[in-house]
Amino acid sequence: MVKVEKIDQEWREQLSPEAYRVTRQGGTERPFSHPGFPNGPGHYTCVGCGARLFEGDAKFESHCGWPSFDRKGGAIDEYRDTSHGMIRTEVRCEACDAHLGHVFDDGPTATGLRYCINGVALEFVPE
């Protein structure tokens, strides 16, 4: 995997203010604030570098307020996150280190996983 490295000013110029806050500063978008993605076949890429992250058929409605996936489909790293008095697993883009969201082991599908991802960190690519 080729690492994508940019200076802060480059990220600020490329990303919307909200996408910058979430992906570069580890923020979280408000639940139910993302307009969603179109239906149909496709996949999801990182808004920062275009790395393929999730397949469209891995997405499901979890009613948690953020896009949810039951498995990763690409370059994702996982890190222990002990912020906010909780123990969680943070997920980041392997290529550019963008904060994407968290993964939980309470998913309703056979994988048992729920990747709870900030919508502003993703772009949908229709097939």
Tell me the pLDDT tens digit for each residue of 55-92.
Answer: 999 999 999 999 999 999 988 999 999 988 989 999 99
Are the C-beta atoms of 106 and 89 separated by less than 8 Å? no
Q: Spot the catalytic one: 46, 49, 96, 116.
A: 116
Q: Identify whether the C-beta of residue 90 lies closer than 8 Å to the C-beta of residue 78.
A: yes
Tell me: pLDDT of 27 over 90.
yes
- For 47, the 3-state DSSP assignment is coil
All structural domains of the chain, each given as residue ranges with its CATH number in brackets, are: 8-29+40-126 (2.170.150.20)
d(CA 93, CA 95) in angstroms, rounded, equals 5
The number of beta carbons lying within 10 Å of the beta carbon of residue 31 is 11
The string of pLDDT tens digits covering residues 1-13 is 789 999 999 999 9
Buried b (16+ CB within 10 A) or exposed e, 87-96: ebebbbbbbb
In angstroms, the CA 66 to CA 22 distance is 13
* 93 in active site: no
Mean pLDDT of 44-49: 97
pLDDT digits (tens, 9 = 90+) for 88-120: 999 999 999 999 999 999 999 999 999 999 999
Non-local (6+) Cβ contacts of 77 within 8 A are 91, 92, 93, 94, 97
pLDDT at 30: 95
